[in-house]
A and B are shown apart, each in its own frame.
Chain A
Amino acid sequence: MSLSITLTLNGTERRIALDDARVTLLDLLRERLDLTGTKKGCDRGQCGACTVLVDGRRTNSCLTLAATLDGARVTTIEGLARGDALHPVQQAFIDNDGFQCGYCTPGQIMSAVGLIAEGTAGDDPERIREGMSGNICRCAAYHGITLAVAQAARRMDNDPAGDAA
């Protein structure tokens, strides 16, 4: 079987030969492209640890077959920072202790970037809590996550150029 797709992955166009039609975007990233920042928490779309942006929308990569993504633009946690300059959401997660073990964190951060881009929550804590509820954090760092997303939303509102992805 030969199947190949073209992805714009973290800003770089890549032609990718798939060895298996069953490969999910998550397993493509983790097991074939050495992009292990995206995490597998449930493989069922229930926890959000695998969240990436596909064409700017937050997406559970575990529920997405790689073969369906020909021509798509995919952004992962590795594609967020600009060199040494962290994305405002990344910095806000550090500042507000928005994580403990760090395993759900890449998904939380990608989800937050997506939520801020959606423009529906702003820095309103209740809307942020609702909008971030597809991402489970078993350490329960929710208080810090909510503060972090609000902080980043305010900063990015002031400096739209910081809006990556």
Chain B
Amino acid sequence: MPDTHTRFGSSSGQPATRRDGLAKVTGAATFAADNRPEGMLHAVYVPAAIARGRVAHLDVERARAHPGVVRVMTPADHPALAGDPDDKPTRFSFRIEVLQDDTVRYAGQPIALVLAETIEAATEGARLLSPRYEAEAPRTGLDDNAPFDVEEPGFGAPGETVHGDPEAGHAAAIHAVEVTYETPPQYHNAMETHAVVAEWDGDRLTLDTPSQALAMSCAAYAHLFGIPAENVVLRSPYLGGGFGSKAIPSGPMVLAILAAQEAGRPVKLMLTRRQMFGPVGHRGATRQTLRLGCDADGRLTVIDHETLAATSSFEMFLESASNASQGLYAAGALRSAHQGVRLDVGTPGPMRAPGEASGSAALECAMDELAHAAGIDPLDFRLRNYAETEPGTGRPYSSKALRDCYDRGAEAFGWSGRPMAPATMRDPDGTRIGWGMGTAFFPSPMFAAEARATLRADGSAMVETAGADMGQGAWTALAQIAADGLGLPLDRVEFRSGVSTLPDGGVAGGSGHTATAGGALHAAGGDAIRRLGELAAEQPDSPLFGAGNAGFEAREGRVHVAGDAGRGDAFADILARAGMSELVGSGRASRPDADTRDYAMNSHGAVFAEVAVDPDLCQIRVRRLVGAFAAGRIINPRLAESQLMGGMIWGLSFALHEEARHDPRTGRIVNSDLAEYRVPVNADVQGLQVLTVHEDDTHVNALGIKGVGEIGITGSVGAIANAVWHATGRRVRRFPIRIEDLLAPA
């Protein structure tokens, strides 16, 4: 429907401030744990303090005796779930731990739950359970168990992809590198820990819980509790961050709902920060081996990318890092392969740019290493391997302004002044300076969504879809799209979302929410306008009388004959003549299979980094980080820039900060808090610059939207790591890069 593009520009493309901004700066925004229904109990669960073994004893009597404690649930004593927690009722389901037995499969697994009148009593009750264990030797490192091959590729189970003849590519290489990079376990750590307030009314369940996938979560909970999905009302008006961790129901949430059912009272459970390291997903550790070769002119003959990725002992989710090497560089041959290793850790899951972040980190460093081996500038090396069509498949890109990103990013950064040799740039005080770059790359998937648009008698409108705003700005960007779909100013559109009773808004993931839910909203607006136009065409008093076959457009609250702005009628007048108080349109969006088959669809970008390394202490500071991104149509530049910057800072975090470390004796994570699990603070961030390059993309979807939520991490990790090498001459192949890596003798 390319004609709809003509309506864009009034709201879409404008840097509107956040519609929920006022609520968020005044404290009025109600997050899940802010709810406190009458009669509510508090739940606190006990996380396992070992990673493998069984719970031998819990002092249930002492916990029960604590004033205020009303119930202690243990593996030996808990109400039954209607559904099997090992079932997979939805496409993105995992097996969950809900006190099925006394086995401990990872540190942090829930092993008991205490319900009490106050949070203080529940916390103390949980402490008094004083668990004793029979522990077995935990396996938490990538070498602690034998690798396995992926037998059936699928969600969380990436297989092997080969294009061309990798062996021939290796044989033909004049310059080659074979390098192994390691990435650590990382934990999402949204500022809002996972929380639920659950309230039952007979067989009806109301949940206040943050969700990136409302309809899917309802389906999962309905299955577990043996009720129809429509009996579950999930309210998620605000999410305090998600990053992939709040799409899939977890054991603690289910236990709290179960406790509420049995108690006959509402129950609140909010994870402690320490409990975020275990049952609610993480980015699994990887070890990636890349073998790259190029000819004498620097043209890649092969990219061969193997990943060993950790998963839990009982479930499958492998960080699909090797897939990052598909679809980007024009190599003569491509091979991406994965193996898994089962460890005594919580099940990994999707974490912002799952697979792409880890894979891009290693790939962009390996590209830098090969560029150096071939004596070619890293940016020039990438340009020599620029893919005009998708490598391997030959499919055209739906759009690809990556060359512009390279150009604009390099110019803004001043890349042309970079000396080729490492360890040559210094400040007058001796500080070592390095410049590095990386290509950013992320697919542009779509899910499926539905929406409703209601035109009202006063000429305003209400639009509805059960979407999720976890900070990306969905409430604002989606409302802008909806306003354009209806031809109304933004302030005439009421936007309702974040509750499961509305039309299914799909999943806020894969950077596809704006495209998907936005597409549905736009279609719903178009449907409402069409109905309104057809209504007017039947009204003798309307200027649109008899225009039924002409097609309609809407602008500024009026319906026009398509292409004839002079012949129109006001929404309110049409409805008044018809005696209608409102008119409803509906829409849906998903990507046609043919488009998925025929085009490669991705966002692209280029990131340039400057780091400063203290000559004595080897402290690493990122001084500048410049990213240029092409991601189709940008609906709201203010919010898109924030998203992209956030992603780039996640890249900085990946490169220099984040790592969960296990105690090899107990298998526990020793830094499971925000003091020791390091994420960037304000003082770590300076010199950030984001440029966006517009793309008109008529294939990716009707709105031309690609998504910006995740791409910022990709490219950034490699750019920073490559800059550290350029500053010091030291190539560190293990993330995060630490001071001690640079202090150690070469």
Contact = CB atoms under 8 A, between A and B. Distances in A.
Nearest to B118: A20
Contact of B25 (A27, A31, A109, A132): A109
B39 to A, nearest CB: 14
A14 B193 CA distance: 31
A15 interface: no
B675 interface: yes
A143 B624 CA distance: 12
Contact of B683 (A42, A101, A130, A141): A130
B193 A41 contact: yes
Contact of A133 (B191, B641, B646, B683): B683
Interface string B120-135: 1100100000000000
A146 interface: yes
A109 B24 CA distance: 10
Contacts of B23: 102
Residue among B33, B36, B120 having the largest count of chain A Cβ atoms under 10 Å: B120
Interface stretch (A53-61, A77-85, A156-164): A77-85
B120 A20 contact: yes
A112 B649 CA distance: 21
Interface in B180-223: 189-193
Interface stretch (B14-22, B282-290, B590-598): B14-22
B70 interface: no
Contact of A41 (B471, B472, B674): B674
A118 B675 CA distance: 25
B638 interface: yes
B26 interface: yes
Interface string B271-284: 01100000000000
B13 interface: no
A25 interface: no
Q: How large is the interface on B (under 10, 10 to 19, 20 to 34, 35 or more residues)?
A: 35 or more
A106 interface: yes
Given A36-B30, A90-B26, A138-B191, A46 B119 contact: no
A156 to B, nearest CB: 16
Nearest to B647: A140
Given A102-B24, A133-B681, A135-B682, A97 B241 contact: no
Contacts of B239: 101
A103 B191 contact: yes
A129 B638 CA distance: 21
Contacts of B645: 140-141, 143
Interface string B25-52: 1111111011010000000000000000
Contacts of A140: 645-646, 649-650, 653, 680, 685
Interface string B670-687: 000111000111111110
Contacts of B124: 22
A36 B27 contact: yes
A74 interface: no
B120 A22 contact: yes
Contacts of A100: 241, 471-473, 642-643, 646
B471 A129 contact: no
A73 interface: no
A150 to B, nearest CB: 12
Given A100-B473, A129-B685, A78 B25 contact: no
Nearest to B68: A20
A139 B18 contact: no
B688 interface: yes
A93 B238 CA distance: 18
Given A102-B24, A102-B471, A139-B471, A41 B685 contact: no
Nearest to B689: A143
Residue among B238, B241, B473, B681 having the largest count of chain A Cβ atoms under 10 Å: B681
Contact of A142 (B34, B649, B674): B649
B24 A99 contact: yes
Nearest to B195: A40
Given A42-B673, A140-B645, A141-B646, A93 B685 contact: no
Contacts of A138: 189-191, 241, 243, 679
Contact of B681 (A41, A103, A136): A136
Interface string A1-27: 000000000000000000110110001
B639 interface: yes
Interface in A103-117: 103-106, 109
Residue among A27, A102, A136 having the largest count of chain B Cβ atoms under 10 Å: A102
B192 A39 contact: yes
Contacts of B685: 129, 140, 142-143
A105 B24 contact: yes
Contacts of A129: 682-683, 685-686
Interface residues of A, number: 62
B30 to A, nearest CB: 7
Contacts of A102: 20, 23-25, 29, 238, 240, 471
Residue among A44, A128, A139 having the largest count of chain B Cβ atoms under 10 Å: A139
A86 interface: yes
Contact of B191 (A37, A47, A94): A47
Contacts of A128: 682
A36 to B, nearest CB: 4
Contacts of B22: 86, 94
Contacts of B121: 20
A160 B639 CA distance: 31
Contact of A136 (B191, B193, B243, B471): B191
Nearest to B677: A46
Nearest to A27: B119
A76 interface: yes
B308 interface: no
B120 A37 contact: no
A101 B681 contact: no
A103 B29 CA distance: 9
A101 B191 contact: yes
A133 B17 CA distance: 25
A46 B273 contact: yes
B674 A47 contact: yes
A165 interface: no
Contacts of A151: none
Contact of B241 (A43, A101, A135): A101
Contacts of B120: 20, 22-23, 27
Nearest to A102: B24
Nearest to A77: B27
B107 interface: no
A95 interface: yes
A30 interface: yes
Nearest to B472: A100
A146 B642 contact: no
Contact of B31 (A19, A39, A76): A39
A98 to B, nearest CB: 9
Nearest to A126: B686
Nearest to B712: A140
A140 B600 CA distance: 30
Contacts of B641: 97
A134 B362 CA distance: 32
A92 to B, nearest CB: 9
B193 A44 contact: no
Contact of A78 (B26, B190, B639, B684): B26
6 contacts: A38-B27, A101-B192, A103-B190, A104-B240, A140-B646, A141-B642
Given A43-B273, A138-B679, 6 more contacts: A44-B674, A86-B26, A97-B642, A101-B239, A139-B241, A142-B681
Interface of B: 17-18, 20-31, 33-34, 36, 118-121, 124, 189-193, 238-243, 270, 272-273, 470-473, 638-639, 641-643, 645-646, 649-650, 653, 673-675, 679-686, 688
10 closest pairs, A vs B, by CB? A37-B27, A103-B240, A101-B471, A100-B471, A102-B24, A140-B649, A77-B27, A36-B34, A133-B681, A42-B273
